[in-house]
Structure 1
Amino acid sequence: MARLALALDASTEDRLLPDLVEHGHTVVARLVGWRDVVESLEMLAPDVVVVGAGRGTLSAELLAACDDRGIRLVGVAANDAERAHAGALGVHELVDAEAEWAEFEALVHGGVAVPSRVGGAGDGAAPQAGVIAVWGAAGAPGRTTMAVNIAAELAGAGHRVALVDADPYGGSIAPVLGLLDEAPGFASACRLAGAGALDRAELERIAQRYSAPRASFDVFTGLVGPSRWPELSHERVTSVLATMREHFEYLVIDTGFSLERDEELTSDQFAPRRNAATFAALESADRVVAVGLADPVGLSRLLRGYDELGSLVDAERIDVVVNRVRQSALGIDAHAQVRQTLRRFAGITDAVLLPHDGRAADAAILGARTLRDAAGRAPLRAALRAYVLGSILPEPAPAPRRTLALPLLRRAAAG
């Protein structure tokens, strides 16, 4: 059951309280204005904030505070003016003040899949998604962490995002996000693609939804175990990604680590390839994020893998990200040592370095949440957000200059 903080008018609150309690929820606070709510979030730690959509109880500051803490916000609108105010702020989870508790219950439990942005990909447009493949050498350099949080930041920027677990050695995105993984979604999509039956309705059916305030995205979970890797053939994976391009703005793919060509199987041209899904994802990607660990072993593996990766993907499409940069593993001025090593042995001059932030990473794992939701102010989340906004998302077009035209009579008089 959920912990709720309320900021509603008296009549609406009195009407909803009996049903709220009957469904087993706990009211942690009954507040008045949005400032009271913001000041109480840290101490009360509610799961959901239910507030009136008027200007006194709903504000951009409250939305930002809830987003930073991963708290869901549900607005309650009593009239058209309040609906317009909520819409202008970007609140999509909005309920009429006269609605029964059943409508609130669906939102409190996350049963309604709310698009991250009203309009755009779901309104009849057919965008071509940007495909981002996250690859890393053996040794758990942080591929899944990068993929999950890149997807979260893209969704938080207002885009329709799909996160795909295409690791043929066993997926880990589902447990990281606290999702069910009995039926691997991406393998199901591949089977449907092989039968020519994959369409938008099937994608929506097999996808799971990671729900967060203003940063929700679809997840296609990976293999429960490595025994089912033959289902992820090169042709099927390529077909699935092509279909997904038509329905999302961004695809983020967590790939496998191995770039071996399975030479022991090359005598049989029709045998399935263990790493076919990884090669298909890399070939389909517009951008490849190559992740390595900031220690002597991790950097050595990254450099060897980067050489192999360069034979498959143009260097212009590769972003190198070095994870967990820390003095305890590299000595004084760890950042300079990492940059010097990459420049000397691989000619890499523009790598992205992420700080070692165990507290934030542990908070995300413990809560099965993204860094954006579990540790919004953490240094690691800030570095990831800066990378996504600065390197992956296109720069916004400059706003057109507005000129003030003189009234016609005044211009005539001036002439």
Structure 2
Amino acid sequence: MRTQDGKRLHATAQPRTRALLVGAEVASMKSPWSAPDSLRELALLAHTAGLEVVGSIFQRLDQPSPKFFIGPGKVKEVAELREQSNAGLVVFDDELSPSQTRNLEQELQVGVLDRTALILDIFAQHARTHEGRLQVELAQYHYLLPRLRRQWTHLERQAGTGGGTSAGGVVGLRGPGETQLEIDRRLIDRRIAWLKEQLADVHRHRELYRKRRRQSGVPVLALVGYTNAGKSTLLNALSGADVYAANQLFATLDPTTRQITLPGGQALLLTDTVGFIQKLPTQLVAAFRATLEEINEADLLLHVVDLTHPNAQEHAQTVETTLSELGVGKHPTLTVLNKVDKMEGVEAAAVSDIVADMGLPSDFVAVSAQQGWGLADLLTRIETTLAATMVTLEVLIPYQRNDLVSLWRERGIVEQEEYLNEGTHIHGRLPSELAAQFAPWQRGSRK
């Protein structure tokens, strides 16, 4: 391309690294995912990370090979394909041990990444808040520490060789010295300790906020689901917020909370959380403590599933398994089937059949967060579900305490209200945390 005066224009954008993807279908791992499906997802991850995918290859195995993960014959095939495609990076669809990564790099003569490292790279790109960046860095160091390797790890001394020292005999600096690897490990250990202190401080501040939130009795809902299921779009649609939402994996890494109002006038808080993905080590998810705390604190989880995705069933299974592994699998959950606007020619009645075929929960609400379809039904279902967890009360509140009437209307459900000479008579439901405030004017209670 040239300018009007004939000068040649040169591209300034950095060319994308060409990447070859390698997968394995391991019988002993009993994954519901096929290798081709998993590799398609890995290609999306690679694209999100800024790589150019130039090819893929996979192998079916009974057990992973201790040396290469895949078999030695398949390693030779990968080497040939890498040369043919001129790939500058090979990305494996499973987590590799440090020795496997080292052996593969020696054989392939090119850099090797595993799925976990690729996801960590995406996390680093997408972390927007101070806490999010701290969490990503901590996760990166935990991943890096057992994988430290340098060209001089044959115990070459950093400080001195033979009988002398590099310090020239300065008092206090004599001695055998340390290997560079030992120094790296010590520095990373210090950095990890500092990151944990910073995150603990953030956690203390957040816990104070949560304590006030619990005392207010405002119900809390958490959106959970597979990455790119449309959780952020649903948050925006329900709350009128403008939270960043994109058609890409891991667009959201930091929990975002917004207030929404139910049809009966009750206010509640809705939190968007980081999406899950298959083959994501639990300890990596655990690094996102803020997300786990929001899920733990929630009165109700909204499990958002992209119904149009060909792997919707596997997505739902992955989310349920991950929640269970994290110890939050028994929370009350409502399944929200999203993106139904993309199901052209499918009648509403047929959705139930599709859900049954996929093995998804039969108790669901179908919506399109993008188009706003089904949101009224979803809000009604949320209201009904939350009402079942509340305490039923009947009170007579004196008129000088109209602040309590306002509180009930905002936080609870008013089923009957009348104005008497003595005050406002209300019958309805309240979060149990608020019941004590109404005890002096209570006429009767039942669950």
Give TM class, smaller chain: 0.3 to 0.5
Q: What TM-score do you get using the length of structure 2 for normalisation?
A: 0.31
- Which entry has the higher C-alpha Rg, 1 or 2? 2
Q: What TM-score do you get using the length of structure 1 for normalisation?
A: 0.33
Q: Considering Cα pairs closer than 8 Å and 6+ residues apart, tell me whether 1 or 2 has the greater RCO.
A: 1
